[in-house]
Amino acid sequence: MPRNAIAMSRNGVTVKSMSEGTFITVRFYPLRDGRDFGALAGMLIACGKAMPHGGCTEQTGQRLLGESFNAQ
């Protein structure tokens, strides 16, 4: 599973993967010092410009990375 922007781009996720205003769902491990950054800990899902009924999930969006939301 990619853990940073460079690794994500190597796996095909780029700025062109999602347009501005796209709803996404992502789970990540935040930095301990509280800065707005972290490591990807599960799937990255893009759901378009309108929030789907029931939320942005694997069933309502496009999985860009990852296999599951197994982060604890």
Per-residue confidence of the chain (72 residues) as pLDDT tens digits? Answer: 555 677 778 878 888 888 889 998 888 888 899 888 887 777 889 999 999 999 999 899 998 887 755 544
Task: Supply the pLDDT for residue 3.
Answer: 57
Task: Supply the pLDDT for residue 61.
Answer: 92
Phi, psi of 24 (to 5 degrees): -130, 160
- The strands making up 62-65's β-sheet, listed across from edge to edge, are 24-30, 38-46, 62-65
Q: 27 and 55 in contact (C-beta within 8 Å)?
A: no
Tell me the pTM. Answer: 0.68
Task: Supply the pLDDT for residue 48.
Answer: 92
Domain layout of the chain by residue ranges: 5-65
User: Alpha-carbon distance 39 to 37, whole Å?
Assistant: 7
User: Alpha-carbon distance 37 to 34, whole Å?
Assistant: 8
Task: Supply the pLDDT for residue 71.
Answer: 43
Q: 61 and 35 in contact (C-beta within 8 Å)?
A: no
Task: Supply the pLDDT for residue 72.
Answer: 42
